[in-house]
Amino acid sequence: MRATPQVGTEGFQRIVGLEHVRAATPEDAIHGVQPALVVAPGSVGEISAVLKLASELGLAVAPRGAGTHLHLGAPPERLDVIVSTRHLERVLEYNPGDLVVKVEAGVPLGALQEVLAVSGQMLALDPPDGRATLGGIIATDASGPLRLRYGTVRDLLIGVTVVLADGTIARAGGKVVKNVAGYDLAKLFTGALGTLGVIAEATFRLHPLPDATRTVVVQVDTPGDAGRLVADLAASTLMPSAAELRWDDPAGPGQVLVVFEGIAPGVEAQAATLLEIAHPHGTAHIPDAGREQALWDQLRLPADFREGEACFKLSYPSADLEIVISAVLEEAQRRKILVRCSAHAATGVAYVGIREQDSVALPELVDAWRAMLAVHDGSVVVLRAPADVKPALQVWGPTGDALALMRRLKQQFDPGRMLNPGRFVGGI
């Protein structure tokens, strides 16, 4: 039985306190779907009580961290209550000697990095927006250039506390890096877009902050040059932390930026070797140390973070870099539209940004990309698109023969379809 959210207001207030429940404003809408309430629990127990009440009342819930990635996914079928994690921002356990940290889900990544930096450590995740909370980063599987060396959330998350739709609090994993006891629910919840439960606490493995970094910039004339450069880099014994491609103008050249981390003599030697490797493929230089920070900031900005652009994520086997980037650029030129491309060049992930005025072309473009990538078991995900075209684009694309199993998982964890209904793959 579905009640109106107002009925719940008092109940939610009793759980989290008067001041932590408010009426939602238009800013709280997700894809134009307006919730009624924003509830901000302050503990795992409160999240549990809030979800239990919401499910008793049949209310649809969207968990929210910093709200930096709410453009992901399809519009929710229903939305009544936003459960905000902004009061869950404590670092619960940090022992530098163990290279492990346990945090509440609402801790912003940037704030955590500051705490860790004091001990010369970092969480090796660098999604574009440092304001993003760790709960949100897990739910969206957000990643950045450093994934080349350190992997993505799934490789760094070693334990979670989650709250299921019915209020059940469950923990999986632990606070040791090596652990195979029980099912790996941390991986199941990673990238699940909050459709299986609310992530309340997370434990991560950490890495030492590098003593030194060195960036090499290579200007390349064609995607073929970029592809060959990255292939030579991958086949070498160099250990780059990131290898990024930027292609802002289809008619102009592109840039490959390679980052080395470690100790000074190590990064110097690696950068020097890369200059040699790069020689046949483009014009390479090592920018002054002073310019590095600016370059890094640029690196962290993939295409989806420019206002007024539609943005897509393309995944493919990494050696197909040339094929994918040339196809995207050629298709854009043929249609006379401007695209911006960027790629985690050695990991098989590219982002394409397209200006909103060109959005009529989107359905055909996306279809063409999907047809191309299907051959290479890749995928195209719509990260951001104008509201009027988004539904026609099928945000997640085809999900293969595992969709029925994914639906059964959703059915087990959230039988009432309370959590983010409709936003995930196949309408989950």
Partner 1 sequence: MDVAQLAQQLRSILGSRAVISEREQLRTYECDGLTGYRVVPSLVVLPETAEQVQTVVRLCNQHSIPFVARGSGTGLSGGALPIEQGVLIVLTRMRRILEVDLPNQRVVVEPGVINLWVTQEVASAGYYYAPDPSSQLVCSIGGNVAENSGGAHCLKYGFTTNHVTGLEVVLPDGELIQLGGKAPDAPGYDLIGTIVGSEGTLGIVTKITLKVLRKPETVRTLLAAYPTTDEAGATVSDIIAAGIVPAAAEMMDALAIEAAEAAVHAGYPGDAGALLIVELDGPAAEVEHQFERVVAMCRQNGATQIRIAADDEERVLMWKGRKSAFAAVGRISPDYYVQDGVIPRTELPEVLRKIATLGVERGVRVANVFHAGDGNLHPLVLYDGEEEGAAERAERAAGEILDICLEHGGSITGEHGVGEDKKKYMPRMFTEDDLRTMQLLRCAFDPAGLCNPGKIFPTPRLCGEVPGHHRTHPVEAAGLADRF
Binding to partner 1 in span 353-412, by CB under 8 A: 373, 376-379, 381, 396-397, 399-406, 408-409, 411-412
- Report CA-CA distances (Å) from 307 to 190, 303, 427: 27, 10, 27
| 185 touches partner 1 (CB under 8 A) | yes
Q: Binding residue for partner 1 (CB under 8 A) from 43, 219, 236, 326?
A: 236
Task: Outline where DSSP puts E strands in 266-306.
Answer: 283-285
Q: Which residue has the tokens 């694309």?
A: 397
Query: Alpha-carbon dihedral of residues 331, 142, 392, 25, nearest 10 degrees?
Result: -130
DSSP 5-61: HHHHHHHHHHHH-GGGEEE--GGG-BTTBPPSEEE--SSHHHHHHHHHHHHHHT--E
Task: Identify which of residues 248 and 268 has a Cβ nearer to partner 1 in the complex.
Answer: 268
* One residue of 23, 176, 275, 371 binding partner 1 per CB under 8 A: 176
**Is 209 among the residues that bind partner 1 (CB under 8 A)?**
yes
Stretch that binds partner 1, among 8-16, 105-113, 128-136, 309-317 (CB under 8 A): 309-317
Residues 6+ positions from 395 with CB-CB distance below 8 Å: 73, 74, 381, 382
Q: List, in sequence order, every residue forming a beta bridge with 93; answer none if it has no partner.
A: 102
Interface residue with partner 1 among 7, 263, 275, 392 (CB under 8 A) is 263
Q: Give the one residue of 110, 120, 280, 308 binding partner 1; rule: CB under 8 A.
A: 120
Residue entry with tokens 């962290």: 300
Judged by CB under 8 A, the stretch of 31-39, 62-70, 214-222, 265-273 that binds partner 1 is: 265-273
Note whether 202 binds partner 1 by CB under 8 A.
Answer: no
Q: What is the C-alpha end-to-end distance of the chain, expressed in Å?
A: 21
Q: Which stretch binds partner 1 (CB under 8 A): 243-251, 264-272, 294-302, 334-342?
A: 264-272
Interacting residues with partner 1 between 145 and 164 (CB under 8 A): 151-152, 154-155, 162, 164
CB 138 within 8 A of CB 189: yes
247 vs 396 by CB, closer to partner 1:
396
- In 3-state terms, what secondary structure has residue 262? strand
> Does residue 239 interact with partner 1 by CB under 8 A?
yes
Q: Which two tokens stand for residue 411?
A: 């059915």
7 forms part of the interface with partner 1 (CB under 8 A): no
Name which position in 4, 168, 293, 298 contacts partner 1 (CB under 8 A).
168
* Number of neighbouring beta carbons within 10 Å of residue 107: 23
Q: What are the two backbone dihedrals, phi and then psi, of residue 156, each rounded to the nearest 5 degrees? A: -115, -20
**From the CB of 49, what's the least distance to partner 1, in Å?**
15
Nearer to partner 1, 34 or 411 (CB): 411
Closer Cβ to partner 1, 9 or 379, answer by number = 379
- Non-local (6+) Cβ contacts of 194 within 8 A are 62, 63, 139, 419, 420
Near partner 1 in 71-100, by CB under 8 A? 95-100
Give 427's DSSP letter.
G
**How many residues bind to partner 1 according to rule CB under 8 A?**
90
Choices 6-14, 109-117, 286-294, 311-319; region in contact with partner 1 by CB under 8 A? 311-319
